[in-house]
Amino acid sequence: MKRDHSKLICDIGELTALFTDTSNLDGLLQNIVEMIALHMEADVCSIYLFYEDRDELVIRATKGLLPSSIGRVTLKPGEGLTGLAFKELRPVIDGDVAQNPHYKHFSGIGEEKYASFLAVPILRGQTRIGAMTLQSKKKNYFTPEDVNVFRAITSQLATTIEMAKLLISLDTPQRTETVPVVKDLSLKFIKGRVGAQGFADGKSAFVTAPSLEMFKASALEAPMTLEDLRAAAASAEKDLEAMQGQIEAKLFDVAALIFAAQIMMLKDKAFIGAMEERVRTGVHPVTAVKDVVQAYVARFASMSNDFMREKKYDVMDVGRRVLDHLTGVSYAAGQLAGKVVIAQELLPSEVLKLSSQNVAGIILLSGGVTSHVAVLARSLDIPLVITDTPSLLDVPADTRILIDADLGNIFIDPDKDVVARFAEKEQLRAKAGETRLLVRPQTLTQDGTRVHLMANINLLGDAAVAEDYAAEGVGLYRTEFPFIVRSDFPAEEEQYVIYRRLVEMMKGREVTFRTLDIGGDKILSYYDHSKEANPFLGLRSIRFSLRHKDIFAQQIRAILRAAAGDVGRGVRIMFPMISSMDEWLEARAVVTDCVAELKANQIPCQDVPTLGMMIELPSVLPMIDALAMEAKFFSIGTNDLIQYTLAVDRTNEKVADLYTPHHPSVLRALKQVADAAGRHGCDLSVCGDMAHEPKYMPFLIGIGIRKFSLDARYIPKVQSRIAALDMQQAAAHAGELLNMLRLKDIEAALQKMGSDGE
């Protein structure tokens, strides 16, 4: 039977609805099987969870089999068709199980009447969570396409199911945890590096080690009842839903499910029920919350899986929020609002959470300015300074801190003079902000040569900023951001919705989609990248996509579909980190196959896509002419080109002084690419951070580059530098730099050109 698969893939809205409508975890799993059975038009859908300690799969939810099978039907890995799918990590399909010697029949659960069978493993990254099965009375009912759809649905739900599994099995209270000691210290001023521009004035707070202290003190508060506890939990849940709603409006493409784990905990009967149980036996509600939170934190903290260990912060957050409502002391709600957060390390998802909590600014003690946490902070408009100063962790909490992230300055416990100067500068800056209104729609040099300024986009919110600054299109959409901030690979449908929205926002203008560029510092929490000694030289970027062609093809199909119709005429597809002709051809072949597949299925798409590549590896330089004849366009990723040419880790603060865009080898490489592109009519742009540094404009324009893609907030500065530029002078300057071998000579020439142009 032919089913309409376009409706089958669950979208995020549907998933979120599952959380909202569920009052307990078993109910959540039950909702999932019912929804899937309905979508897949199957008679039966069941979830089996794997319990490592028993080495057993157990039915936890079913639609179609008798409810008495739940918790009773168990299988060993490898046993029966479900056990086989789980053990061999592959789908198992059978059109008539009666003929299959491998099939394990359970009597008394109503299984006899089902002929067709399909099982897929539930996996989150490398973690085996269980298996999901479908059954139908009709023979030969499930098709290979059903297998793909069922796998996609299962992988999208894996994290949710894993959370549910974990919460269901958590019930042993334990108490361990040490509290970090904060030392006093007399730091006053630190010069850091600019991660994301802006100003912040707030009290210090730390996100490295949220304190368990408040869950340990058990002093009794005012008299309270069970009803008070229930009301506090309900209010906490409302808070979280409101926060989720808020962030969804602001960050459509990345918001989904950020707070889902916490909402789920509040709905979990075991979690809230354990608190209620204690209250019934006479324990004070505040103490009951603290006891249960501590027990959960201890269990999460002892898990071997990093992803699960992190969940202890979610439990603490939820606990704080409930206590907040119980005691009326506003601790959780605005805890980080307006604060300057100091962190040793941050994940992109944590940056998002901080943004939703309205932090004033961030000081990060590791990572380089081109790292993706910095890039994300720019998109979210959070001032960020990076500094390798571990003693900042010893600054007492709630110390006033000023950040001038335009210059990378950090002032700790500033005196009156500093505060006054800071306020003055902030006012000037606010005025300067108004210059965005002065941006001209066209960028021209002094003598009338046209230059195109496009925007780099990481989140959809950046598209509105691009509009504000009159960017001519999107020169680089870093599609990995929706991947990085999620807890699982986004499904094709989910990607399509995000991409289509961008295409519609750009109304036919040029939009360059860079395919998934993960690895290096762009880590997915749900994929095990950890075993690589040198992740920047490892399975990253296009190598990852070519090694996981199913994920790659899903993305390509989503882009091609999003580019359908006239509004998508400006869409281009760009492959990152191409190192050879072979990789280029292999990536291009995936696109060709996807176009053929979509057309065969009569799915609207862009059928003659414009394909190009990023130039970011020195290995392509000796063959740059051949590549320029193949690709429709090049975009130079100077961030990586510099890193790989000079063997300087772009995220390592310790070698930041060696990361020099104006190194003679980098300048010569840029010239070589510009010449080859010019010779073969290959469209050329620069999309790395060099494109937003006004001091490099004379050189880049001097060697013939006419298109730049940059964070749109830098457009006014770059545009005014270009407007002051004389083309002859630019060409002479470029020639001069290309003849130099010493950094200090190049720096002097850049400085001279800078002051001439100002």
687 classed as catalytic: yes
**Residue in the structure block whose two tokens are 């990361």:** 659
Q: Based on CB atoms, which residue is closest to Mg ion, 295 or 617?
A: 617
Tell me the per-residue interface mask from 367 to 406 with ligand PEP, x by CB under 6 A, - otherwise.
Answer: ---x------------------------------------
Q: Which stretch binds ligand PEP (CB under 6 A): 173-181, 436-444, 636-644, 741-749?
A: 636-644
- Tokens 């882009």 correspond to 559
What is the DSSP track for 260-276? HHHHHHHH-HHHHHHHH
Residue closer to ligand PEP by CB (options 422, 575) is 575
* Minimum separation from the CB atom of position 675 to ligand PEP (A): 20
Least separation in angstroms between residue 681's CB and Mg ion is 25
Are 510 and 570 a contacting pair, CB within 8 Å? yes
Closest CA relative to residue 510, chosen from 474, 482, 468: 474
Interaction of residue 639 with ligand PEP, rule CB under 6 A? yes
Q: Which of 493, 517, 649, 653 binds ligand PEP (CB under 6 A)?
A: 517
Q: Which is nearer to ligand PEP, 561 or 707 (CB)?
A: 707
CB atoms within 10 A of CB 88: 12
Tell me the per-residue interface mask from 180 to 219 with ligand PEP, x by CB under 6 A, - otherwise.
----------------------------------------
Residue 658: CB minimum distance to ligand PEP, A? 17
Question: Three-state secondary structure along 387-437?
Answer: CCCHHHHHCCCCCEEEEECCCCEEEECCCHHHHHHHHHHHHHHHHHHHHHH
Catalytic annotation, pick one of 372, 529, 662, 733: 372
Q: Which does 638 bind (CB under 5 to 8 A by kind): ligand PEP, Mg ion, none?
A: ligand PEP
Q: What does 478 interact with, of ligand PEP, Mg ion, none (CB < 5 to 8 A by kind)?
A: ligand PEP
Q: Which is nearer to Mg ion, 162 or 640 (CB)?
A: 640
Using rule CB under 6 A, residue 645 touches ligand PEP: no
**Among ligand PEP, Mg ion, none, what does residue 125 contact (CB within 5–8 Å per kind)?**
none
Q: How many residues bind ligand PEP (CB under 6 A)?
A: 11
What DSSP element (H or E) covers 634? strand 633-636
Cα Rg of the chain (Å, integer)? 28
User: Could you say which of 46, 638, 685, 719 contacts ligand PEP (CB under 6 A)?
Assistant: 638
Q: Would you state the structure tokens that stand for residue 519, as one six-digit string?
A: 């690895």
DSSP 8-state assignment for residue 506: H
- Comparing CA positions, the residue from 630, 540, 624 lying closest to residue 585 is 630
Distance CA 637, CA 645 (A): 12
- 544 neighbors 582 (Cβ within 8 angstroms): no
Q: Which of 43, 616, 653, 711 binds ligand PEP (CB under 6 A)?
A: 616
Shorter beta-carbon distance to ligand PEP: residue 370 or 554 = 370
Candidates 116-124, 264-272, 493-501, 631-639 — which segment interacts with ligand PEP by CB under 6 A? Answer: 631-639
640 binds Mg ion (CB under 5 A): yes
Work out which of 319, 637, 694, 702 binds Mg ion, going by CB under 5 A. Answer: 637
Integer distance in angstroms from the first to the last C-alpha of the chain? Answer: 71
Instruction: Choose the catalytic residue: 284, 529, 687, 733.
Output: 687
Cα separations (Å) of 297 from 152, 171, 216, 336? 32, 11, 12, 21
The CA distance from 250 to 248, in Å, is: 5
- Distance between CA atoms of 588 and 499, rounded to whole angstroms? 20
Q: Which residues of 517-537 are buried (b: 16+ CB within 10 A; e: fewer)?
A: bbbbbbbbbbbebeeeeebbe
Number of H helices, E strands in the chain: 27, 23
Residue 673 CB, nearest approach to ligand PEP (Å): 13
Ranges of beta strands (E only) in 433-482 are 443-444, 450-457, 474-478
| Cβ closest to ligand PEP, residue 278 vs residue 478 | 478
Paired tokens of 357: 């909590």
According to the binding rule CB under 6 A, does residue 640 interact with ligand PEP?
yes
In the bound state with ligand PEP, the residue whose beta carbon lies nearer, of 58 and 690, is 690
Measured from the CB atom, the residue of 336 and 454 that comes closer to Mg ion is 454
The residues of the shown chain that bind Mg ion, judged by CB under 5 A, are 616, 637, 640
The residues of the shown chain that bind ligand PEP, judged by CB under 6 A, are 370, 476, 478, 517, 616, 637-640, 687-688
Catalytic residue positions, numbered:
372, 687
